[in-house]
Structure 1
Amino acid sequence: MTRIKRGYVAKRRRNRTLALTKSFRGSQSTLFRTASQRATKALEYSHRDQGRRKRDLRRLWIVRLNAAMAHEGYRYSLAIHRLRKMGIALDRRSLAQMGVCDPEAFSGLLSFTLQAPSLLVEG
């Protein structure tokens, strides 16, 4: 039988996979075959949940905005519409942060936006 001189390459590849599954339970972190299957599945879950995280955060920002605007006596949909019409390019994340951390500035922005219909930009 001929000598195989690439043994360290295979070992390095296996160790890289086992390093990915280091915190997994049982044989999923020690046996190469199950560890490689679990690592593949973990990457699939990670990719799927990146989109879910974005979706969930957007929902959270909208809930916070709706609560802050209702506290001021405004409707969420009308306020967002007016902000867009006036050309104020603040996203929901920034607005939600402002509503939580700086309610006075948020209230001023809402009153400026909703009480000044003559400043609306057409288009």
Structure 2
Amino acid sequence: MPRVTNAPAAHRRHKRVLEQAKGFRGHRSKIYSQAVNAVDHAMSQATIHRKLKKRTYRQLWINRVNAAARAEGITYSRLIEGLTKAGILLNRKMLSEIAIHDPDGFRAIVAHARAPQA
């Protein structure tokens, strides 16, 4: 009985993995067995960091809003509390963009946030 290797499928699989490992250094991009490990690791890291990216951006927006708020003489937590009481529904991303690109508008928002506290 002849030996059956299913070579076309194996070749496609090897080609796909080596294509995904393109740009990796050394044997990790040339040798199939090492490329499989490298690609598996890369994919798991990609999944983890897609989740972490959301956290990282939220931290960035909060830092920007906090810096802009402190420049106006109010802390971040007091600003968010004031906005909630005033019924202003702006998320942290939008607050961050307004703080950077429209300082006068941000000043007005801070004034509205201060009003319920006064």
TM-score, scaled to structure 2:
0.89
What SS is found at the alignment partner of 1:68? helix
Q: Which one-letter code corresponds to 1:12 in the other structure?
A: R
Tell me which residue corresponds to 2:106: 106
Q: CA deviation at 1:5?
A: 7.2
**Are 2:28 and 2:38, in contact at CA under 8 Å, matched by a contact in 1?**
yes
Q: Name the CA distance, whole Å, in 1 between partners of 2:38 and 2:101.
A: 41
Q: CA deviation at 1:78?
A: 0.9
Q: Name the CA distance, whole Å, in 2 between partners of 1:112 and 1:88.
A: 9
Tell me which residue corresponds to 1:36: 36
Tell me which residue corresponds to 1:60: 60
Tell me which residue corresponds to 2:19: 19
Q: Name the CA distance, whole Å, in 1 between partners of 2:13 and 2:87.
A: 53
Cα root mean square deviation, aligned? 1.8
Q: Which one-letter code corresponds to 1:92 in the other structure?
A: R
Q: Name the CA distance, whole Å, in 2 between partners of 1:50 and 1:103.
A: 31
Identity over aligned pairs, percent: 34
Number of residue pairs the alignment of both structures matches:
117
TM-score, scaled to structure 1:
0.85
Q: Which one-letter code corresponds to 1:7 in the other structure?
A: A
Q: Pairwise mapping of residues 60-99 of structure 1 onto structure 2 (< 5 A)?
A: 60-99=60-99
Q: Which one-letter code corresponds to 2:57 in the other structure?
A: L
In structure 2, stretches of 5+ residues that fail to align are none
Q: Which one-letter code corresponds to 2:58 in the other structure?
A: R
In structure 1, stretches of 5+ residues that fail to align are 119-123
Q: CA deviation at 1:3?
A: 5.3
Q: Name the CA distance, whole Å, in 2 between partners of 1:5 and 1:47.
A: 33
